[in-house]
Amino acid sequence: MCGIVGYIGNRDAYPILIKGLHRLEYRGYDSAGIALINKENELSVYKTKGRVQDLEEFSKSKDITGNIGIAHTRWATHGEPNNVNAHPHYSQSESLALIHNGIIENYAVIKKELLQKGYTFQSSTDTEVLVQLIEYIKSTNQCDLFTAVQLALNQVVGAYAIAVLERGNPNCIIAARKSSPLVIGIGDDEFFLGSDASPIVEYTNKVIYLDDEEIAIIERGKTEPKIVTISNVQKTHKIKELEMNLSQLEKGGFSHFMLKEIFEQPETLKNCMSGRVNQEATNVILSGIIDHKEKFLEAKRILIIACGTSWHAGLIGEYLIEEFCRIPVEVEYSSEFRYRNPVINSTDIVIAISQSGETADTLAAVELARKAGAFVYGVCNVVGSSIPRNTDSGSYTHCGPEIGVASTKAFTAQVMVLTMIALTLANQKGTIKQEEYEGILKELLLIPNKIEKILALNEQIKQLASIFTYAHNFIYLGRGFSYPVALEGALKLKEISYIHAEGYPAAEMKHGPIALIDNEMPIVAIASDNAIHEKIVSNIQEIKARKGRVIAIISEGDTEIKSMADHCIEIPKTKECLSPLLSCIPLQLLAYHIAVTKNRDVDMPRNLAKSVTVE
Ligand code: F6R
């Protein structure tokens, strides 16, 4: 949650920070703020409720000079989104300014102590407590800023990525992290700071990812930051090269990142398979599995942990792994798993799925599973993020930065990786016949072209969307592999259009939800070919008998459902186990066009932020 950006060098900091905030805005967009030190060594803070654009407006008449600064875009946790709660926060004497991503869990206790010592607070945030604590420690210990930050961080419980500036000290930014990501970009005579690499990539591809409980002293004139842990151990980090490029962070002619990312899927899925599935379609190799083959062959059970869209991908993973590998699989929400004292054995494999690799609940669930002795495998998109760094092995989804808050291309890439996991493992275990294995691989290689065909239906789906903007509720139905797709389709619609939508296994309708059906209710039936096709046909009949309005996703040439449904979207045929990779595409487009027609802010839907790095 929240975006952090910082700059120290010879250029004007303000434009770099503002541009950085725009790139990070997907992480949170309740309020934004900036702190700068000018040539006279004065420290100024400008902040406002609203978006980065509002901050630019607000700072127009202000002194925005200086070549050192920090900036923040917020997703509110403590305290409502308003001007006062926006970051940066000043310390009591206004000699320090601090930005923070995360949650200080013991802030109330510290605040009470500081209040007793005469400190006063402007905001209701935990962040202001931290900056006041640093100032208090600095003045009582008569120490430098770095030592004060170090001592303060030893007192706090919780998660943080912070950056601190000090009035009269224009040559240094202090930054630190625990459980919230922080990246330092190294340029020529300049440094950048970001909660991810997106505000940095335009200037340098050399970066250092801070580890937990590390503090960086980023000083003008130095070639590298000095890194020390909160318990005072000096650290050296290898400088890494960014894989990201600038065009991946821009809309490239599309009206929204979400639409761009939907249209990128043929390419992202090719990238995901590249070097893994051979062109002859005779083999798939995931090195993360092959390198730990024994562990996987011994596994008695696989647990999948994830949140949101990634959890939906996990459900598809369950169907795939059970079908082909004959290993029992359980899929859990990370947030439930971490707090319910689950049974975890050393013969379990835990697969953690996360686009960002930073979701707090999934990260905590990973730690729990590792402590219990399970082998933990990460399926993540963001290279170098916390989950891949805290797992025993894993596979990246390689779909490039996902900026749209609603996940699209990350979902299909996760499903693709899970398919490759299932096939690699089944082949190693001998639970799949060579003919079936090669048949699926052959079909897998055709998926990107088939998605191209579905994307060509964009106009048709847009027309369809315009018919249904009246609706306040939607139901999505599917069976087998299409059931998780129904859940995902409903989530996409909810989060960007604010229309209530529910996904159900189609046969469950008659156990209650069918009572909701009337001639106003749109039902999206994911009814592409599968082994129990006639069952979903009868579920559609049940809905039509109650006058529901059916939008069916069908396989090309399905005249039976076509004659029943009110509207159909025809998608290419594929193998049933791969059908989610195709059937989710029209649902992404439908949600997108409904949201656009309703004038919603598709890339930054209300109340949401891209990665949930707090509980
Ligand atoms: C929905 C969406 C969220 C995420 C969830 C997990 O479109 O994006 O539901 O899927 O917050 O995030 P990651 O995958 O980063 O762990």
The confidence score (pLDDT) of residue 81 equals 79
611 C-alpha to ligand 1 centroid (Å): 7
Q: Is 333 helix (H, G, I), strand (E, B) or coil?
A: strand
* Pairing between β-strand 301-306 and β-strand 329-333 as defined by DSSP bridges: parallel
Mean pLDDT over residues 341-364, rounded? Answer: 93
Residue 99 tokens read as 């930005």
Kindly report the CATH class assigned to 3-248: alpha beta
Task: State pLDDT tens for residues 243-300.
Answer: 887 878 888 889 999 999 999 999 999 999 999 999 999 999 999 999 999 999 999 9
- pLDDT for residue 309 is more than 90: yes
Residues with CB under 6 A from ligand 1: 307-310, 354-356, 359, 362, 406-407, 491, 495, 611-612
Domains 250-454 and 458-597 share a fold: yes
The amino acid that residue 503 corresponds to is G
**363-371 long-range Cβ contacts below 8 angstroms, 24+ apart:** 363/179, 363/387, 363/390, 364/334, 364/338, 364/615, 365/305, 365/332, 365/334, 365/337, 365/338, 366/305, 366/390, 366/391, 368/337, 368/338, 368/342, 368/344, 369/303, 369/305, 369/344
Task: State pLDDT tens for residues 450-480.
Answer: 999 999 999 999 999 999 989 999 999 999 9
Task: State pLDDT tens for residues 173-205.
Answer: 999 999 888 999 999 999 999 998 999 999 999
Q: Which residue has the higher pLDDT, 77 or 177?
A: 177
**Per DSSP, what are the bridge partners of residue 409?**
none
In 3D space, the residue among 498, 500, 502 whose CA is nearest the CA of residue 488 turns out to be 502
Q: Which residue has the higher pLDDT, 325 or 606?
A: 325
- pLDDT for residue 588 is more than 80: yes
The amino acid that residue 548 corresponds to is G
Which residue is closest in CA terms to ligand 1's atom 3? 308
What is the band of 514 on the pLDDT scale with cuts at 50, 70, 90? confident
> How far apart, in Å, are the Cα atoms of 72 and each of 62, 221, 484, 585?
18, 25, 36, 34
- pLDDT for residue 408 is more than 90: yes
Return phi, psi of residue 346, to 5°: -70, -15
Residue 492 tokens read as 């996409």
Give the CATH architecture of domain 250-454: 3-Layer(aba) Sandwich (3.40)
Conformation bin of residue 219: beta by default, left when phi > 0, alpha when psi is -120 to 50: beta
| Pocket perturbation via mutation, ligand 1, pick of 256, 261, 334, 359 by most ligand atoms within 8 A of CB | 359
Ligand 1, closest atom to CA 492? 7
Which residue is closest in CA terms to ligand 1's atom 11? 308
| Residue 305 and residue 280 in contact, taking contact as beta carbons nearer than 8 Å | no
Instruction: Give the CA radius of gyration of the chain.
Output: 26
| Pocket perturbation via mutation, ligand 1, pick of 332, 351, 355 by most ligand atoms within 8 A of CB | 355
The confidence score (pLDDT) of residue 512 equals 87
Report DSSP state, residue 608: -
Question: What amino acid positions are annotated as catalytic residues?
Answer: 2, 610
Cα(111)–Cα(254) distance, integer angstroms: 47
End-to-end CA separation in angstroms for the chain: 10
Residue 294 has, within 13 A of its CA and on its CB side, a CA count of 0
Which residue is closest in CA terms to ligand 1's atom 8? 407
Mean pLDDT over residues 43-63, rounded? Answer: 93
What is the band of 614 on the pLDDT scale with cuts at 50, 70, 90? low
491 C-alpha to ligand 1 centroid (Å): 10
Cα(215)–Cα(217) distance, integer angstroms: 7
Conformation bin of residue 250: beta by default, left when phi > 0, alpha when psi is -120 to 50: beta
Mean pLDDT over residues 206-232, rounded? Answer: 96
| Residue 261 and residue 409 in contact, taking contact as beta carbons nearer than 8 Å | yes
CA angle 396, 194, 310 (to 5 degrees): 35
Provide the mean pLDDT of the chain. 93
Residue 87 tokens read as 């970051």
| Residue 5 and residue 199 in contact, taking contact as beta carbons nearer than 8 Å | yes
* Pairing between β-strand 191-194 and β-strand 206-209 as defined by DSSP bridges: unpaired
Asked if the peptide bond before residue 88 counts as cis, ω within 30 degrees of 0, the response is: yes
Mean pLDDT over residues 515-540, rounded? Answer: 88
Looking up tokens 């434009």, which residue turns up?
A: 15
| Residue 12 and residue 49 in contact, taking contact as beta carbons nearer than 8 Å | no
Task: State pLDDT tens for residues 532-587.
Answer: 888 888 889 888 988 999 999 999 999 999 999 999 999 999 999 999 999 999 99
Give the CATH architecture of domain 458-597: 3-Layer(aba) Sandwich (3.40)
Ligand 1, closest atom to CA 307? 6
Residue 446 tokens read as 């055709």
CA angle 493, 497, 498 (to 5 degrees): 95
Q: What is the pTM of this model?
A: 0.87
Instruction: Name, in order, each residue with C-beta under 8 angstroms of 297's C-beta and a sequence gap of 6 or more.
Output: 428, 429
In 3D space, the residue among 183, 179, 182, 176 whose CA is nearest the CA of residue 207 turns out to be 183
335 C-alpha to ligand 1 centroid (Å): 13
Return phi, psi of residue 302, to 5°: -120, 130
| Residue 193 and residue 7 in contact, taking contact as beta carbons nearer than 8 Å | yes
Share of the chain above pLDDT 70, in %: 99
Task: State pLDDT tens for residues 361-407.
Answer: 999 999 999 999 999 999 999 988 889 999 999 999 999 999 999 99
| Pocket perturbation via mutation, ligand 1, pick of 196, 305, 310 by most ligand atoms within 8 A of CB | 310
Instruction: Using CA atoms of 286, 290, 291, 295 in order, give the dihedral in degrees to the nearest 10.
Output: 120
Q: Which residue has the higher pLDDT, 383 or 487?
A: 487
434 C-alpha to ligand 1 centroid (Å): 35
Residue spans of the domains in the chain: they are 3-248, 250-454, 458-597
